[in-house]
Structure 1
């Protein structure tokens, strides 16, 4: 009995020490799982290639993200920090699973413009711990890419729209790494 108790305590300590672990690794070095509470850390990137076709330019006010392995190429996301949100398009895959493990949380890798819109800063790294909420937009959402504000009721609707959109993409097997199965 004491040994079982000791092993239980040891496993809890090890789990706390290592923190985050991806529930569904994919593509060898990424995480296909979405956050059950929709919370992510925000990081910014400007890559030289794109998993979803032509690479977006990093000059100008462009609203794009990575995370295609979670949400699917071309999907639109609402990224919110408080009542300030940005609608963005998924253009790339990433980040690497080891980055999320080091951060201790899932990450949304986004354009420098999104980082600036949501934080006021010029860069976002995982160690900054800028927590955001990310939801997939409704198929009927006609809002243009870019910043917008939400009320509490509108934020609630974003969560409802996200659940519907994720159910659709899971049924179509276009998100959460379903194309790997």
Structure 2
């Protein structure tokens, strides 16, 4: 079989689809720095239509606000690469469809755009589950020590897929 995905991503995406079919869960994504790679990984798998509701590629701040309802004051205060914004992206994706689980990804893939506080390789992930009330957002900031933009996006895609496992 020919796949456009690296083996590691394909293997995890297969598990995500199979396990979510078994769990009866629908998924949605809000992607920024991955630019749709997580959605592409899921749709590479036969049967993905049983679990993948939709994906939002919101690369710009304007798209995050218009498509996902991320408040502009969050973007101005914390920046797009922040737990607050990723959590808002996940909540917005969940509100925009009938999925059970949303994962959001926002980061600095490089080679430019990094700062001292948010260097290249900084990626934030958030997961929201319909009906689950959290006192603390399910979110995480990771710093990938990678030598290329492609590597940052590869690792971010893998992490996002793992967050979609039941």
TM-score, L = length of structure 1: 0.26
Q: Which has the larger radius of gyration?
A: 1
Tell me which protein shows more helix as a share of its residues. Answer: 2
- The answer to which structure, 1 or 2, has the higher relative contact order (CA under 8 A, 6+ apart) is 1
